[in-house]
């Protein structure tokens, strides 16, 4: 692909690695660059090189390919197909929290930098990181089995295990590098008829230098081309456009919006987060979402039989969470309905004597037939929510203080940057919980 004439180029961006920057004025709604279908790394372009058809998902196959052709000893990748692209991928993910978890599990060293960083994370973030880790290890199991069964594929590896066998730990470490490249750089790309097919993803050279913005109009728009069902004429090239109504000036960074992700998700999936001030969070001009699922699970478990009964009636969809935006700060709908039902049950943990009547009263509010169950029920659930928020506030204040203590002793750049990120995760909890308490005190109708 000829890239020297493009109106954009990758440039170093402080705190974000590289980013995609305009090198000249780019008018609105203009094609910025086109990536030919043959330059994309996805299940369709890779599968022909792995016969017989591997039973691997898109993520697993692309990760396998990167694993095999990972550049070593600062030499270019030996891949005859995508070598030039693979050679410029990030070489290390030491600042990604999944790497910390992986290292902690391998080294079991409670004094390592990674273990210290993990110990400082809010528990909800650790739970989400463990979800990411489960996916990683499941993908590794599949790829490892495939490699065991297809020794000719192993023989292609840049680091030639046949001559100098590498340990499974090193192989897994290389897979982690490959997998993180896939998971932090792939875009959604419609390869299959079904919109939700997990193979609908691709690595896309040049575009994958674009960083994320939370703004509603990112500067770089794929103009839906990635979401069009595949046509009969085969795989399409991808053209990316500037936004409908904005000029980009030379030196201006062009962004993508990775999705409407919370900071917790951005952090565990991509290893970064967006920043907001106390004022923005308290006012609701910055979005923050805090999952309070664990506190609610504990409340329900504490209700014994009544809790088991209650769970049957709660919708599985939606989150138990609190939010700063849109202002005023508020609990999620599922959290409100759960707390209402919790307080309909009364103080003890036995099943109500008249469960149908109890349920009926509650259902009328979930169906919108009644605004509330009773004044008393409203006061009780809001008091419980205040209690949950106050616990979050205390934990978050302790979390912030602990991070600040450790950060004051740290001299390593990337580690310091991570302390700032972790502090932001705690601050987000702190100010979101404070803002919800304020909404309750001000009598906001949720
Ligand atoms: C698709 S890549 C973007 C290019 C990348 N910055 C690079 O140097 O190659 C996604 C990664 O970029 C970084 N990133 C993206 N958006 C960011 C942002 N707004 N702030 C900080 N880092 C960001 C994160 O490390 C993320 O995992």
The pLDDT tens digits of the residues spanning 365-387 come to 888 888 888 999 999 999 999 99
Q: Is 8-40+204-270 in CATH node 1.10.3470.10?
A: no
pLDDT at 120 over 60: yes
Distance CA 435, CA 330 (A): 8
The whole-angstrom separation of Cα 407 and Cα 401 is: 10
Interatomic CA distance for residues 144 and 321, integer angstroms: 38
Radius of gyration of the chain (CA): 25
Which pLDDT score is estimated for 287?
92
Query: How far away, in angstroms, is 341 Cα from ligand 1 center?
Result: 43
- Per-residue pLDDT tens digits for 258-295: 888 899 999 999 999 999 999 999 999 999 999 999 99
Instruction: Tell me the pLDDT of the chain averaged across its residues.
Output: 89
Q: Compute the distance from residue 72 Cα to the ligand 1 centre, in Å.
A: 23
- Closest of 11, 5, 36 to residue 240, by C-alpha: 36
Domain ranges across the chain: 8-40+204-270, 43-187, 283-441
Query: Hey, which residues does 158 pair with through a beta bridge?
Result: none
pLDDT value at position 7?
93
Local confidence band at 188 (pLDDT 50, 70, 90 cut-offs): confident
Pocket test for ligand 1, best of 272, 414, 424 (most atoms within 8 A of CB): 272
- Quickly list H helices, 346-412: 355-366, 375-408
Q: Which atom of ligand 1 is nearest to the CA of 185?
A: 1
Q: What is the DSSP string of 11-65?
A: EE-TTSSEEEEESS-B-TT-EEEEE-GGG-BSHHHHGGGSSS-----HHHHHHHH
pLDDT at position 34 over 50: yes
Architecture of the 283-441 domain: Alpha-Beta Complex (3.90)
Q: What is the pLDDT of residue 160?
A: 61
233 has pLDDT over 60: no
Task: Report ipTM for this prediction.
Answer: 0.99
Of the chain, the percentage scoring pLDDT greater than 70 comes to 91
Beta strand pairing call for 31-35 and 289-291: unpaired
Å from CA of 100 to ligand 1 middle: 18
Pocket of ligand 1 (CB under 6 A): 15-19, 90, 184-185, 208-212, 270-272
For residue 362, the model assigns a pLDDT of 86
């Amino acid at each position: 692909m000829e890239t020297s004439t493009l109106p954009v180029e990758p440039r170093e961006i402080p705190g974000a690695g590289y980013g995609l920057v305009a090198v000249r004025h780019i008018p609105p709604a203009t094609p910025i660059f086109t990536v030919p279908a043959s330059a994309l790394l996805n299940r369709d372009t890779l599968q022909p090189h792995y016969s017989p058809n591997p039973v691997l998902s898109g993520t697993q196959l692309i990760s396998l390919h990167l694993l095999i052709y990972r550049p070593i000893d600062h030499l270019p990748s030996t891949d005859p197909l995508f070598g030039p692209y693979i050679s410029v991928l990030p070489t290390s993910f030491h600042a990604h929290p999944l790497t910390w978890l992986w290292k902690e599990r391998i080294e079991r060293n409670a004094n390592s930098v990674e273990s210290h960083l993990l110990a400082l994370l809010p528990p909800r973030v650790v739970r989400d990181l463990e979800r990411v880790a489960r996916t990683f290890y499941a993908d590794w199991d599949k790829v490892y089995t495939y490699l065991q069964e297809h020794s000719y594929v192993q023989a292609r590896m840049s680091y030639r295990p046949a001559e100098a066998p590498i340990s499974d730990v090193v192989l897994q470490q290389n897979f982690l590098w490959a997998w993180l490249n896939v998971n932090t750089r792939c875009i959604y790309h419609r390869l299959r008829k079904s919109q939700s097919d997990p193979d609908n993803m691709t690595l896309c050279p040049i575009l994958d230098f674009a960083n994320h913005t939370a703004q509603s109009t990112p500067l770089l728009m794929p103009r839906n081309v990635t979401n069009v069902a595949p046509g009969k004429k085969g795989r399409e090239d991808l053209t990316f456009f500037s936004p409908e109504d904005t000029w980009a000036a030379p030196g201006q960074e062009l962004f993508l919006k990775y999705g409407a992700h919370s900071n917790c998700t951005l952090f565990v999936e991509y290893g970064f987060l967006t920043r907001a001030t106390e004022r923005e969070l308290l006012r609701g001009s910055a979005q923050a979402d805090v999952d309070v699922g664990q506190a609610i699970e504990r409340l329900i478990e504490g209700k014994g039989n009544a809790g088991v009964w209650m769970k049957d009636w709660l919708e599985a969809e939606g989150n138990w969470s609190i939010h700063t935006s849109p202002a005023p700060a508020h609990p999620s709908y599922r959290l409100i309905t759960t707390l209402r039902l919790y307080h309909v049950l009364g103080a003890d943990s036995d099943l109500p004597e008249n469960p149908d009547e109890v349920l009926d009263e509650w259902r009328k509010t979930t169906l919108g037939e009644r605004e509330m169950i009773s004044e008393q029920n409203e006061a009780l659930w809001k008091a419980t929510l205040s209690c949950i928020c106050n616990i979050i506030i205390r934990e978050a204040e302790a979390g912030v203080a602990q991070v600040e203590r450790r950060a004051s002793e740290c001299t390593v750049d990337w580690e310091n940057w991570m302390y700032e990120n972790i502090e932001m995760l705690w601050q987000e909890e702190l100010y979101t919980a404070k803002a919800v308490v304020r909404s309750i005190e001000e009598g906001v109708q949720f």
